[in-house]
Amino acid sequence: MNAFDAYPTTDFISQAWHHLQVFWSFEDINATWVLFGSLLLGMSASVIGAFAFLRKRSLLGDALAHAALPGVMMAFLLSGSRDAEVIFVGALASSLIGFWIIDWLPKNTKIKPDAALAITLSFFFALGLMLLSYIQNTDLPDKSGLDKLLFGQAAAITSEDIQLLIIVTTLVLLTVLLFFQKLRLITFNRSYAKTLGINVKFYEMLLAIMIVLSVVVGLQLVGVVLMAAILLTPIAAARFWSHQLSTLLMLAALFGAISAILGAQISYVAPAMPTGPWIVVSLSLLFFISFLVAPKQGLLKRYLEYRRLKQRVILENILRTLYKLLEREHFQRNQFTLAEITELRSLKSIQLKQSLAILNKRKLVIEAQQRYSLSEEGLLKAIKLTRRHRLWESYLSQHADLNSEQVHQQAERIEHILNKEQEQQIVAELMEQFDPHGSPIPKLPSQNLQEKSQ
């Protein structure tokens, strides 16, 4: 029995375990070819697809995959053969014509690049479906299975397909390795690459040919419809983990390889499961895992950062409120009740108590008999915050057409992220000693000492 077919009995677990053992023993040559071919395609398509993704031409791979379909059908009609080499040549010619149209339309008409992609994709796909329908209604021999190119049929992969995959994968990886610096420059700054004398058109054509080759050899495994996912999803997942292009390419190749192994294994073990869709599902799972937990841009990290920032803002607002109370009492009283604090800063009672407990633990606020005062360290921090708040208010009132309430709202946000260098730049531009509300801009203790010594 071919494990890519459905199980004949309902003893699922024992048969799945048996097939898993057979799969990793490499006794089934067909399963080994599927695994090897998926690995090659996963790595090469992920690496070359990364450049299309980073150049914001993600739909290019999808359009070229759909453009390959009529070429395959024409090659079969003209030759009457389904040999891998014949199909490859037909798909390659058709995809290259599709790429030429995608490139020509925006340059010579008023059609935008995205519209050119959509027009080419839909036209070639419709043409391919028409030819496929025509072939299926003829008496041509060996026509069965051509419709599998739409979604792929990994189980039908042959040694000729594997040879083509090895050649294309080697070609793609060598191209990226040899021209990495130039491809990187063209990807991120095309205009600068031109000023350096780099033949941008040549390298863009080289990239396009590599994408076309990867698409064409992947049709048997994942089909026309799903090929774009193999090209783009790995790099989309890798973007959550790194910003370095070399690291991105390695991660994309790794994700492509992992999804290929998972897809090939699941389709072999589970009953009647197609390999291509499982590879895409595995890639999508890797994407969502990266989206959630990646240390650079993952959702969980961003949520924790947001929580930390929100807490820091609350704590700093309380410090500044205590300073304002101190200022209101002309620095004669440094102990304030919860009611006095909430009079100036709107916070829930429980949130205020928790925040004051944190400040007390950090030795920025001192608590005595349910009254709160700034410690020496807390006072210094409150002065810095108040100074930045009022400096930014003064800067906005001079340079922006905002009323006093608007500048206050803006300063409430900026005071928490303004750094020392930015503060010094504002001071260098301003000669003000009072903010737009008439409150004094406090000086740092070091400034007061410096003035006294003079």
pLDDT of residue 179: 94
Instruction: Kindly report, residue by residue over 112-146, the tens digit of the pLDDT.
Output: 888 998 899 899 999 999 998 998 888 878 777 77
Q: How much of the chain, in percent, has pLDDT values that exceed 70?
A: 94
Contacts of 269 (CB under 8 A, 6+ apart): 3, 16, 19, 20, 23
The most confident of 15-19, 36-40, 54-58, 421-425, by mean pLDDT: 36-40
pLDDT of residue 1: 43
Quick one: pLDDT band at residue 356, thresholds 50, 70, 90?
very high
The Cβ of residue 416 has, within 10 Å, a number of other Cβ atoms equal to 16
Helix axes 29-54, 180-188, angle to 10 degrees: 50
pLDDT of residue 167: 92
Quick one: pLDDT band at residue 7, thresholds 50, 70, 90?
low
Quick one: pLDDT band at residue 243, thresholds 50, 70, 90?
confident
Instruction: Judge whether residue 357 has pLDDT over 80.
Output: yes
pLDDT of residue 8: 58
Specify the pTM: 0.78
**Residues 374, 334 contacting (CB under 8 angstroms):** yes
**Residues 279, 38 contacting (CB under 8 angstroms):** yes
Ranking 76-90, 122-136, 170-184, 437-451 by mean pLDDT, the lowest is 437-451
Instruction: Kindly report, residue by residue over 255-313, the tens digit of the pLDDT.
Output: 999 999 999 888 888 767 788 889 999 999 999 999 999 987 899 999 999 999 999 99
Residue 66, token pair as written in the block: 């759909």
**DSSP states of 115-158:** HHHHHHHHHHHHHHHHHHHHHHTS--TT-TTGGGGGT--GGG--
What fold does the segment set 25-294 form as a domain?
A: ABC transporter involved in vitamin B12 uptake, BtuC (1.10.3470)
Q: What is the mean pLDDT of residues 424-444?
A: 79
pLDDT of residue 159: 84
pLDDT of residue 251: 95
Instruction: Kindly report, residue by residue over 19-57, the tens digit of the pLDDT.
Output: 888 888 888 888 888 899 999 999 999 999 999 899 888
Among candidate residues 364, 395, 357, the one with its CA nearest the CA of residue 380: 364
The secondary structure of residue 417, as a DSSP letter, is: T
Contacts of 259 (CB under 8 A, 6+ apart): 42, 234, 279, 280, 282, 283, 286
How far apart CA 184 and CA 141 sit, in angstroms, is: 48
Strand partners, 373: 366
Mean pLDDT (the chain, rounded): 86
How far apart CA 322 and CA 315 sit, in angstroms, is: 11
pLDDT of residue 101: 92
Domain ranges of the chain: 25-294, 302-429
CATH, domain 302-429, list 1.10.10.10, 3.40.640.10, 3.40.1170.60, 3.40.50.720: 1.10.10.10
For 375, phi then psi, to 5°, come to -75, 175
Instruction: Kindly report, residue by residue over 164-197, the tens digit of the pLDDT.
Output: 899 999 999 999 999 999 999 999 888 888 898 8
Residue 206, token pair as written in the block: 């080289």
pLDDT of residue 396: 84
Q: How big, in percent rounded to 5, are the helix, strand and coil portions of the chain?
A: 75, 0, 25
User: What does the chain come to in residues?
Assistant: 454
Around 76, how many Cα atoms within 13 Å sit in the side-chain half-sphere? Answer: 27
Strand partners, 440: 434
Quick one: pLDDT band at residue 148, thresholds 50, 70, 90?
confident
Ranking 28-32, 83-87, 100-104 by mean pLDDT, the lowest is 83-87
Residue 95, token pair as written in the block: 């995809």
